[in-house]
Structure 1
């Protein structure tokens, strides 16, 4: 899943080397914290959050076979 997020996000940003993903796993959920360069935040979020929503939709669909809830958080 981490590779999928990187594959989606890296072409969108100006600083692909700054893309980092931290994974936290609990009993019933997996949280992915996506960190990008401060200058790329607007590109990852998009107008009215459309790009972020599209990324989340793809990630959630890909992870639907897992029996845990997936959460994608975007931060600096």
Structure 2
């Protein structure tokens, strides 16, 4: 559910939305979400001074109150 939100949000921002891929690795306390994007889109997704990815993290932090898990998001270029 969270991974789908991140993917949908990233596709709205990206110049190459068809290349967005998201992987979710669930742990006991932390779920890591890895967002893969075209190299040209990585900067857009992070934003100036990390503001774009910070906004995504802020929205997702609300989910912590609901299910008690923490979420970590990483943006990586496609290889």
Give the number of the structure whose residues are more often helix, by fraction: 2
Q: Which residue of 1 aligns with 2:19?
A: 18
Give me the whole-angstrom Cα distance separating, in 2, the residues matched to 1:59 and 1:18: 22
Superposition TM-score, scaled by structure 1 size = 0.90
Distance, in Å, in 1 between the alignment partners of 2:65 and 2:73 is 14
What runs of 5+ residues in structure 2 fail to find an aligned partner?
none
Using the size of structure 2 for normalisation, the TM-score is 0.87
- Aligned-pair distance for 1:12? 0.3
The answer to whether 1:72 aligns with 2:73 is yes
Task: Please identify runs of 4+ aligned residues in structure 1 that moved more than 4 A.
Answer: none
Q: CA deviation at 1:56?
A: 1.0
CA deviation string 1:1-56 (max 9, x = no partner): 11111221101011001111111111111110011100101110111111111111
Structure 1's unaligned 5+ residue stretches are none
Higher RCO structure (Cα 8 Å, ≥6 apart): 1
Secondary structure of the equivalent of 1:65?
helix
Aligned residue number for residue 59 of structure 1: 60
